[in-house]
Chains A and B, each alone.
Chain A
Amino acid sequence: MPATNSQLIAGVCIILSLCQLLAPSSAEETAPKQILILASYHPGLAWEDNIISEIKFRFAMKMPAAQIRTEYMDTKRVAMDEKRREDLKEHYRQKYGGEHLDLIISVDTDAFNFLREDRDDIFSKVPVVFCGVVHFDNEIKNQLDDFTGVLEAYDVEDTIALMLNLHPLTKHIFIVNDMTATGRSARIVFDEIIPRYSKNVSFEFLENLTANELTEKVAALPDESLILLMTFNRDRAGTYLTYIDAVQLLHQATEAPIYSIYDFYMGYGIVGGKLVSSYFQGDEAAELAFRVLRGEDADEIPIVDEIANEYVFDYYELQRLKIPLKALPANSVIKNMPFQPHSSLVSENLSNQDLHGQNLSQSDMQRSNLRNSDLSYAILDHSNLSNCRMENASLIFADLEETDLRGSNLYGANLSGAKLIAANIIGANLSQANFTGAALSQARMSMSELNSTILNDTSLEATNLSYSIMNGATFENAYMRRSSLRNSSLINASLCGASLVGANLINADLTQADLSRSDVSEARISNANLPFARATDANMIFTNLSGANLSHADLSRSDLMASMLVGANLTDTNLSWTNMQDAYVYGARLVGANLTGSDLNGIHLNDSDLANANFKEADLTEASLGGSNLFGTDLTNARLVSADLTQANLKNSSMTNARFMNARLNWAQLDNSRFIRCQFSRAELFGASMTDCDLSRSDFTRSYINQANLSGSKLTETMLDSADLSSANLSRTDLRGVTLRANNMDHTNFAGANLNEAAIMSISCEGLILHDALLMSAEITKSTLKDADFSGSDLREADINLVSLENCSFRGCDMRRVDLRNSSIMGCDFSGANIEGIKYDQISLNILARSSLEGARIDKNLENDLAQTRALIAKNENGLSG
C-alpha cells in the first residue's frame, strides 16, 4: 500500500528527531578535552585519592568524553629540592612538550607552587584550576595568570574553640605538624590564631621531629593536654608516614584526646573537629574546571575561599573520653554510630548509654534495658520499645510518634517536650515521669500507672487514659479535648487550667482533685467520684455530671449553665457565685450546699433535697423547685420571681427580703419560717401551709392565699391588698395594724387572730370567721359581711362604719364603745355581748331593737332608747296590721 503524504511527513519528522537526539550535545563533546591532573603526592594517599576520585566522577557525569591523565609529583616521599624540581620539569617537558592540553588541575600545595613558577616553561599558557592549597596571600594572587581554584580553607580556630569547649580544664595544646609545604603553610595560619588563645592555654608545636622523638614526646604529655594533628607525613629523618601511620602513632602513645581538621584521619583515632572535606575540594575544582573548559577566562572566575566544613566526630572516641553527645555543636555528624534506623536491639542492655539525638527510627528494641539512658532528642518513631526498662531515662524532646511502649517501665523518666502522638503506651508504668510540654494526642495510655506523673502543658487530645491510675498526677494547662479518662483514678490529681472539652470521665475517681479554671464543658462526668474536689472558676457548660458525687467539693464561681446534675450528690458542696442557668438537677442531693449569689435562672431542681442549703442572694428566677426539700434553707435576699415551688418543703427556712413575685408556692410547706420583708405580689399560695411563720412587712398584694394555713403566723405590717384569702386559715395570726382592703375573704378564718387597730375595708364576703379575735380599735368600713362570726371577739372601741352586717354573730363579744353609726346590722345576734357605751344612730338603734340581745350587757341610755324604739315599732306594726 503506497504511503500517504501525511505519513511521509511524519516519517521525516521522526528521522530528524532521532538525528537530533543522537548528535553530540555540544561542540565541546565533538573534540574531547585534554585534562592533566597534577597531584602533589602519590597514589594511595587518602586525601589526594579522594580529591582525584571526585574530580573524575564529576567529569564522568558531565563531560564523559574528556581525556584525563594524572601525574604524581611524590613530594611526600621525595623531598622537593632544586634537583628534584629540575628532574620533574624535564620529565614533563619531554612527555607533554608537543601535547595539546585544555586544562591542568593541580592538587595540593606542591603542585600549585610548581605550576605557578614553571607552567609557562612546560605547558605554555594552559589554564590552571587548583585545589588543596592551604595558604594564599594577595602577593601570590596578583602574580597568577590564568589561574583559579579552591582554597583548603580549614577552620583551625573553630576547632581550637571546640576542643576547649569539650575539655574546659585544658592547659596545653600540642600541635603535631611536619615540615612539608602543607605543614609550613599550616604554621603560617597558626601563627595568626594562637595569640588569641594563649592567655589561658599554652601551645607547643611538635614539628621537625623523628617519629620516635614524637612518640616519646607524646607519651610524656602533662595532664590536661590535647593534641591537634595537622600533617605528619615525613619526619625529620625523611621517613615517610601515611596519614594512618601518623594518627596511630599518636593514639598508641597517649590517651590524650586527638583532634584534627582533616577528614582522612576520621576513624583512626581522632575525636573529631571541624573537618575539611577532600570530596568537597574535588567537587568544587571540577565545577571550576567545567566553567574554564566552556570558555570562561580563569582569571575572571573568583577563587573559592569559603567552604562549608562540618563538625565530625568518632562515636567510639566520644565514648572513650566520656564526651556526651549533647555537648557537641548542633548538626554534628557522628561517625561509627552503632545505632541506626531499623536497628535490631531486642533485649539489649543499653542502660546508662548516651543515645542523645540518635536516629533509631523504626527500630526493634523490645525488652531492652534503657535505664538511666540519655535518649534526649533521639528519633524513635515507629519503633518497638514494648516491655522495655526505661526507669529514669531521659527522653527530652525525643520523637516517639506511633512508638510501641506497651508494658514498658518509664518510672521517673523525663519525657519533657517529647513527641508521642498516637504512641501505644497501654499498660505502661509512667509514675513519677515528667511529660511537661509533650505531645500525646491520640496516644493509647489505658490501664497505665501515672501516679504523681507530671503532664503539665501537654497535648492529650483524643488520648485514651481510661482505666489508668493517675493519683497525684498533674495535668495543669494540659490540652485534653475529647480524651477518655473513663474509670480512671485521679485522686488528688491537679487538672488546673486543663481543657477537657468533650472528655469522657464517666466513673472516674477524682476525689480531692483540682479542676480549678479547667474547661470541662460538654464533658461526660456522670457517676464520677469528686468528693472534696476543687473546681473553682471552671467552665462546665453542658457538662453531664448526673449521678456524680460532688459532696464537699468547691465549685464556686464556675459556669454550670445547662449542665446535667440529675441525681448528683452535692452535699455540702460550695456552689456559691456559680452560673447554673437552665441546669438540670432533678432528684439531686444538695443538703447543706452553698449556693450564695448563684445565678440559678430556670434551674430544674425538682424533687431535689436542698435541706439547710444556703441560697443567700441567689437568683432563682423561673426556677423549678416543685417537690423539692428546702427545709431549713437560707433564702435571704434570694430572687424567686416566677419560680415554681409547688409542694416544696420550706419549713424552718429563712427568707428575709426574698422576692417571690408571681411565684407558685401551691401546697408548699412553709411552716415555722421567716419571711420578713418578702415580696409575694401575685404569688400563688393555694393550700400552702405557713403556720407559725414570721411574715411581717411582707407584701402579699393580689396574691392567692386561698385555703392556705397561716395560723399562728405574724403578719404585722404586711400588705395584703386585694389578696385572695378565701377559706384561708389565719387563726391566731398577728395582724395588728394591717389593712385588709378589697380582699376575697369568703370563709376566711381569723379565729383568735389579733386584729387590733387593723383596717378592714372594701370587703364583701360571706362566712368570715372572727370568733375570739382581737379587734380592739379596729376599723371596719365600707364592707358587706354576711354570716360573719364575731362571737367572743374583743371589739372594744372598734369603728364599724358604712358596713352591712347581715346575719352576723356577736355572741359574747365585748363591744364596749363600738361605733355602729352609719352601719346596718340586720339579723345579727348580740346575745351575751357587752354593748355598753356603743355609739349608734337611729338606723342602728332600730335594727338593734329587732336583734337578739338576750343576756347582753346594755347601759341605761341604750336600754331606754331601745324601750322607746321597741314601743314605737310595736305601735307601727299594730297600726299596719289594723
Chain B
Amino acid sequence: MKRICIALAAMLLAMTHLTNALATEYSHEKLADLINSNEDTRMDAQDLAFLLVTHNFDATPKGDHVEVKIGNSVYSLMPNANKPGLAEIMPQ
C-alpha cells in the first residue's frame, strides 16, 4: 500500500509539472497558424497584441506593430489590412 501511495504522489507531481509546461509550447509555427487562420482588415496593433496574449504569446503593442517573444527570438508583426492573414511576421 505504501508503494501505491508513493507511486500516486509521483504521478500527481508529474501532472502538475506537465500542466505548467503548457506556456512554453508556443512556437513560431503556432504563431503563424494563428495569424494565418484569421482575417481582419481593420485590426490594429493593439487588437493584434490582445489576440496574441489571449493565445498565451508574449506580445506587446509597439506603435503600429506588435513585438512577440518566442524563446530567444523576437518577431515584429505589422497588421496587413487587406492582405491574407492578420499581419506580416518579420524577425527582428
Chain A residues within 8 Å of B92, by CB? none
Q: Assess the A742–B15 pair: CB atoms within 8 A.
A: no
Chain A residues within 8 Å of B14, by CB? 802
Decide if A574 is an interface residue (CB 8 Å cutoff).
no
Q: A639-B40, A782-B15, A784-B15 are in contact. Are A843 and B4 (CB under 8 A)?
A: yes
Chain B residues within 8 Å of A846, by CB? 4
Decide if B22 is an interface residue (CB 8 Å cutoff).
yes
* A876 CB to nearest B CB, Å: 6
Decide if A679 is an interface residue (CB 8 Å cutoff).
yes
Among A283-319, those with CB < 8 Å from B are: none
Q: Assess the B4–A679 pair: CB atoms within 8 A.
A: no
- Name the segment of B46-54, B61-69, B70-78 touching the other chain: B46-54
Decide if A699 is an interface residue (CB 8 Å cutoff).
yes
Q: Assess the B47–A661 pair: CB atoms within 8 A.
A: yes
Decide if A741 is an interface residue (CB 8 Å cutoff).
yes
Q: Assess the B55–A701 pair: CB atoms within 8 A.
A: yes
Q: A682-B50, A701-B54, A846-B4 are in contact. Are A639 and B42 (CB under 8 A)?
A: yes
Q: A762-B22, A843-B8 are in contact. Are A641 and B38 (CB under 8 A)?
A: no
Chain B residues within 8 Å of A582, by CB? none
Decide if A461 is an interface residue (CB 8 Å cutoff).
no
Q: How far, in whole Å, are A722 and B39 apart by their CA atoms in the complex? A: 22
Chain A residues within 8 Å of B15, by CB? 782-784, 802-804
Q: A762-B22, A802-B15 are in contact. Are A621 and B42 (CB under 8 A)?
A: yes
Contact of A802 among B7, B18, B51 (CB under 8 A): B18
Decide if A549 is an interface residue (CB 8 Å cutoff).
no
Q: Assess the A657–B39 pair: CB atoms within 8 A.
A: yes
Contact of A843 among B7, B19, B38, B55 (CB under 8 A): B7
Q: How many residues of A contact B (CB 8 A)?
A: 33
Q: How far, in whole Å, are A49 and B22 apart by their CA atoms in the complex? A: 122
Q: A641-B47, A657-B39, A699-B38 are in contact. Are A824 and B8 (CB under 8 A)?
A: yes
Decide if A113 is an interface residue (CB 8 Å cutoff).
no
Q: A843-B4, A843-B8 are in contact. Are A782 and B18 (CB under 8 A)?
A: yes
Decide if B11 is an interface residue (CB 8 Å cutoff).
yes
* A378 CB to nearest B CB, Å: 60
Chain B residues within 8 Å of A802, by CB? 11, 14-15, 18
Decide if A797 is an interface residue (CB 8 Å cutoff).
no
Chain A residues within 8 Å of B19, by CB? 742, 762, 782
Decide if B90 is an interface residue (CB 8 Å cutoff).
no
Q: Assess the A619–B42 pair: CB atoms within 8 A.
A: yes
Decide if A681 is an interface residue (CB 8 Å cutoff).
yes
Among A244-285, those with CB < 8 Å from B are: none
Chain B residues within 8 Å of A742, by CB? 19, 22
* B34 CB to nearest A CB, Å: 8
Q: A619-B42, A682-B54 are in contact. Are A741 and B11 (CB under 8 A)?
A: no
* B32 CB to nearest A CB, Å: 15
Is the interface on chain B under 10, 10 to 19, 20 to 34, or 35 or more residues?
20 to 34
What are the interface flags for A657-682 relative to B under an 8 Å C-beta threshold, 1 for contact and 0 otherwise? 10101100000000000000001011
Decide if A589 is an interface residue (CB 8 Å cutoff).
no
Decide if A351 is an interface residue (CB 8 Å cutoff).
no
Decide if A786 is an interface residue (CB 8 Å cutoff).
no
Chain B residues within 8 Å of A822, by CB? 11
Q: How far, in whole Å, are A876 and B54 apart by their CA atoms in the complex? A: 52
Q: How far, in whole Å, are A363 and B90 apart by their CA atoms in the complex? A: 83
Q: How far, in whole Å, are A479 and B38 apart by their CA atoms in the complex? A: 48
Decide if A816 is an interface residue (CB 8 Å cutoff).
no
Among A814-849, those with CB < 8 Å from B are: 822-824, 842-843, 846
Q: How far, in whole Å, are A804 and B16 apart by their CA atoms in the complex? A: 11
Decide if A771 is an interface residue (CB 8 Å cutoff).
no
Name which residue of chain A comes closest to B16, CB basis. Answer: A782
Q: Assess the B18–A681 pair: CB atoms within 8 A.
A: no
Contact of B55 among A681, A782, A824 (CB under 8 A): A681
Chain A residues within 8 Å of B56, by CB? 721-722
* B10 CB to nearest A CB, Å: 10
Q: How far, in whole Å, are A699 and B38 apart by their CA atoms in the complex? A: 9
Contact of A661 among B1, B7, B12, B51 (CB under 8 A): B51
Q: Assess the A659–B54 pair: CB atoms within 8 A.
A: no
Contact of A662 among B7, B37, B50 (CB under 8 A): B50
What are the interface flags for A125-168 relative to B under an 8 Å C-beta threshold, 1 for contact and 0 otherwise? 00000000000000000000000000000000000000000000
Chain A residues within 8 Å of B4, by CB? 842-843, 846
Q: How far, in whole Å, are A639 and B4 apart by their CA atoms in the complex? A: 55
Among A644-658, those with CB < 8 Å from B are: 657
What are the interface flags for A695-711 relative to B under an 8 Å C-beta threshold, 1 for contact and 0 otherwise? 00001011000000000
* A872 CB to nearest B CB, Å: 10
Name which residue of chain B comes closest to A762, CB basis. Answer: B19
Q: How far, in whole Å, are A843 and B1 apart by their CA atoms in the complex? A: 10
Q: How far, in whole Å, are A63 and B39 apart by their CA atoms in the complex? A: 99
Q: How far, in whole Å, are A762 and B15 apart by their CA atoms in the complex? A: 8
Nearest 7 A-B pairs (CB), nearest first?
A: A681-B54, A762-B19, A702-B54, A682-B54, A782-B18, A782-B15, A802-B15
Interface residues of A (CB under 8 A from B): 619, 621, 637, 639, 641, 657, 659, 661-662, 679, 681-682, 699, 701-702, 721-722, 741-742, 762, 782-784, 802-804, 822-824, 842-843, 846, 876
- A-B residue pairs in contact (CB < 8 Å), sample of 20: A621-B42, A637-B39, A641-B47, A681-B55, A682-B50, A699-B37, A699-B38, A702-B55, A721-B56, A722-B56, A741-B22, A762-B19, A782-B18, A783-B15, A802-B11, A803-B15, A804-B12, A822-B11, A824-B12, A846-B4
